[in-house]
């Protein structure tokens, strides 16, 4: 699962309004929707601002591979 899919699932599962997260992150809603739908690349800075808006760690959405 891609990071943007994990973020979208988290937001939906927790009943958080996407527009509220977009506003808190300082991202236009059109851009935010494109990020969550995989229509625009979600860069580390995008993930950082979204996680800040959600008040969670980016580690929530990033898999670590163990060797």
Q: What is the pLDDT of residue 53?
A: 96
Q: Is residue 63 part of a domain?
A: no
Number of structural domains in the chain:
1
Q: What is residue 1's DSSP assignment? A: -
Range of the domain at 18: 3-58
The CATH number linked to 18 is 1.10.260.40
Q: At 5, is the pLDDT very low, low, confident or very high (cuts 50, 70, 90)?
A: very high
Task: Choose among 20, 48, 27: nearest CA to 12.
Answer: 20
What sign has the CA pseudo-torsion 43, 62, 18, 23? Answer: negative
Alpha carbons 28 and 40: distance in angstroms, whole number: 13
Confidence (pTM): 0.85
Write out pLDDT tens, residues 24-44: 999 999 999 999 999 999 999
Q: Is residue 41 part of a domain?
A: yes
């Amino acid at each position: 699962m891609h990071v943007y899919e994990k973020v979208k699932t988290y937001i939906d599962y927790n009943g958080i309004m996407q527009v509220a997260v977009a506003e808190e992150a300082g991202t236009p809603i059109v851009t935010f929707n494109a990020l969550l739908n995989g229509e625009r690349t979600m860069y580390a800075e995008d993930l950082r601002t979204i996680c800040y808006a959600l008040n969670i760690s980016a580690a929530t959405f990033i898999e670590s591979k163990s060797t």
